[in-house]
Amino acid sequence: MDHPSTDSHPPPGHHDEATRQFFSHSSARRINTDAVIAKALRQQHPNLSLSIAPAASCNLLAYAANGHAQMTPVTDDERPHDHDPHVPSSLSWKVYIPPARRMDGDLGVIAKEVLFEKYLLTWQSTDFLVYLVNGRDGVSSYPQVTNYFILATHESLASQLLLAAGRWTSELHDEIWVFDGGYWAKNAELYRSAMKASWEDVILDEEMKGALIEDHLSFFRSRATYERLKVPWKRGVIYYGPPGNGKTISIKATMNMLYHLKQRVTTLYVRSLKSFMGPERSIALVFAKAREFAPCYLVFEDLDTIITDDVRSYFLNEVDGLKSNDGIFMIGSTNHLDRLDPGISKRPSRFDRKYLFPDPDFAQRVAYARFWQEKLADNKGIRFPDKLCDAIADVTDGFSFAYMQEAFVAALLAIARREKPDDDDGDGEGVDETMVRTVDLSDDGWVQVLDQDEKPVEDDDPELDDLPLWVEIKKQVAILREGMEDKTA
At position 344, the amino acid (one-letter code) is I
Q: What pLDDT, on a 0 to 100 scale, did the predictor assign at position 89? A: 79
Domain ranges of the chain: 17-171, 187-356, 362-488
> For residue 138, with 0-12 CB atoms within 10 Å meaning exposed, 13-18 middle and 19 or more buried, which class applies?
exposed
DSSP structure class, residue 326: T
For 131, the 3-state DSSP assignment is strand
Angle CA 107–113–114, to nearest 5: 155
Q: Are 264 and 297 in contact (CB under 8 A)?
A: no
Angle CA 153–159–162, to nearest 5: 120
Q: What pLDDT, on a 0 to 100 scale, did the predictor assign at position 3? A: 58
Over residues 116-170, the pLDDT tens digits come to 999 999 999 999 999 999 887 654 545 568 999 999 999 999 999 999 999 999 8
Closest C-alpha among 163, 85, 149, 77 to residue 114:
149
Whether the ω angle into residue 143 lies within 30 degrees of 0, i.e. cis, is: yes
Percent helix / strand / coil, the chain, rounded to 5: 45, 20, 40
Q: Are 469 and 384 in contact (CB under 8 A)?
A: yes
Write phi, then psi, for 453 (nearest 5 degrees): -85, -20
For 67, the 3-state DSSP assignment is helix
Taking the mean position of all CA atoms in its chain, how far away is CA 162? 26
Q: What pLDDT, on a 0 to 100 scale, did the predictor assign at position 97? A: 83
Mean pLDDT value across residues 482-486: 78
Closest C-alpha among 231, 238, 212, 224 to residue 298:
238
pLDDT of 435 over the 90 cut: no
Which residues on adjacent β-strands are paired with residue 442? Answer: none
Residue 329: enclosing H or E segment and its boundaries?
strand 328-334
Which residues on adjacent β-strands are paired with residue 118? Answer: 131
Q: What pLDDT, on a 0 to 100 scale, did the predictor assign at position 7? A: 53
Beta-carbon count within 10 A of 146 CB: 20
Over residues 358-372, the pLDDT tens digits come to 999 999 999 999 999
End-to-end CA distance of the chain, in Å? 81
Q: Are 240 and 334 in contact (CB under 8 A)?
A: yes
Percent of the chain with pLDDT over 70: 81
Q: Strand runs (DSSP E) across 412-457, as ranges?
A: 439-441, 447-449
Which residues neighbour 360 within 8 Å (Cβ) at sequence distance 6 or greater?
203, 245, 368, 399, 400, 401, 404
Residue 229: enclosing H or E segment and its boundaries?
helix 223-229
Query: Model's pTM, two decimal places?
Result: 0.74
Phi-psi region at 422: left, alpha or beta (left = phi > 0; alpha = psi -120 to 50): beta
Over residues 86-120, the pLDDT tens digits come to 567 788 889 998 886 666 677 888 988 888 999 99
Looking at the structure, give the CATH architecture of the domain made up of residues 187-356: 3-Layer(aba) Sandwich (3.40)
